[in-house]
Amino acid sequence: MYIWQEFERIPMAEVCQVVTAFHPVWANAEPDLIEAVDAEAAHGSFRSWASCGRQ
């Protein structure tokens, strides 16, 4: 079955909350660092955050 699913980016305020709770590495990270990483690599996608470091 094929279903078109559209996803929107997570707002930055939510990215900071979710990412710090998601993994201990990010638990004490400054919001500026999280914003920079999101802008460079994840672009508001939790899937991108969750797959960081996996090859």
**Do the domain assignments include residue 52?**
yes
Mean pLDDT score, 24-28: 90
Domain containing 42 equals 24-55
**Is the pLDDT reported for residue 55 higher than 90?**
no
For residue 47, how far is the Cα from the chain centroid? 7
- If one counts the domains in the chain, the total is 1
CA–CA dist 35, 29 (Å, integer) = 10
**Do the domain assignments include residue 18?**
no
| Residue 39 in tokens | 């802008």
Side-chain half-sphere of 48: how many Cα atoms within 13 Å?
13
Looking at per-residue pLDDT, the higher value among 42 and 1 belongs to: 42
This prediction has a pTM of 0.71
**Do the domain assignments include residue 35?**
yes
Sign of CA dihedral 45, 41, 2, 7: positive
